[in-house]
Amino acid sequence: MTNLTPTSQRPLHGILWMLAAGFFFVLLNGLVKYVGQTLPSSQAAFLRYLFGLIFVLPALGQLKRARFSPPMWRLFALRGVVHTGAVLCWFYAMTQITVAEVVAMNYLNPIYVMLGAALFLGEGFSTRRMTAVVFAFLGVLIILRPGVRELGSGHLAMVFTAIFLGISYLIAKRLSQEASAAVVVAIMSITVTIGLAPAAWLVWVPPSLTDLGWSVVIAFCATAGHYAMSRAFAEAPVSVTQPVTFLQIIWATMMGAWLFAEPLDVWVIAGAGVIIGSVTYITWREAMLNRRVTPNPNAAKS
């Protein structure tokens, strides 16, 4: 299988793919919150992944032809276990706190991912990137205001969601070096569906046709989001693509106010401003640095 090498990585393409992933994930948040009003969270999660298998059918042909080493298969299995825990925590959190809070808490995930990529994947982590992450994290703290207000079980669930997703995304970055985005998403969908089945069985209630219909839409948004995210990982380093996810807070706040009558919190707006500032800075700096790179003199001869 052919994948992008470090010399052929395209930061702009990675950023655009991550923007697409963010759009689908925010839409997913709203739909999960809506469906969670009528179905247990673990059952809603299971239905999302069960119907999601429909959208990965085209990848089955690639999956049959895939020849991975035992360590790679162990990584696929480990990601399935970790991602199952993340999904269970995340679906529960969506029923307990606002959409904006869920997205804000999820910003712990990029921080874990960027630090993990620097420590375990050998990716560069410059001072400017560290500064952007620090300010983005400050924005999250402004939004949540720990110690100033009570944080409930939904917030705790999102802490674990961020940790599990951080591990899952780091594994996905490693897998994307040897497998296509479609195969990475397909195997994750299969393993997580299997992992969620016991939890859903324990609380199962008969779903309505409407619930099933929304579950299909949720599955599409989630699968499209994970595919776009996997493409972003293949196109550019994690430290370039992850800051883009901070833009989701704006979309989530607007959705919560519009669809669920969630109040616009001035602290959420202030924190989002800090986050957007950090994203704008790091995106601009990366663009400037890329323009200064001297082209390979042999490139024009090929």
Please write the tens of the pLDDT for every residue from 42-69: 999 999 899 988 888 877 777 777 778 8
When pLDDT is averaged across residues 12-20 and rounded to a whole number, the result is 87
Q: What are residue 149's DSSP bridge partners? A: 146
Where residue 194 falls among pLDDT bands split at 50, 70, 90? very high
Rounded percentage of the chain residues whose pLDDT exceeds 90:
20
Amino acid at 29: N
**pLDDT of 217:** 93
Where residue 302 falls among pLDDT bands split at 50, 70, 90? very low
The average confidence (pLDDT) of the chain is 80
H or E segment to which residue 301 belongs: none
Where residue 289 falls among pLDDT bands split at 50, 70, 90? low
Where residue 209 falls among pLDDT bands split at 50, 70, 90? very high
**pLDDT of 92:** 93
Residues with Cβ within 8 Å of residue 91, at least 6 apart in sequence: 32, 36, 41, 42, 44, 45
Q: For the chain, give the longest Cα–Cα distance.
A: 65
What's the token pair of residue 226?
A: 């994970």
Q: What is the pLDDT of residues 223-249, one digit of tens each?
A: 788 788 878 878 877 667 766 777 787
Domain boundaries, the chain: 6-291
Asked if 192 and 51 count as a contact pair (C-beta separation under 8 A), the reply is no
When pLDDT is averaged across residues 156-172 and rounded to a whole number, the result is 87
Amino acid at 7: T
Amino acid at 231: R
When pLDDT is averaged across residues 170-192 and rounded to a whole number, the result is 85
Where residue 280 falls among pLDDT bands split at 50, 70, 90? low
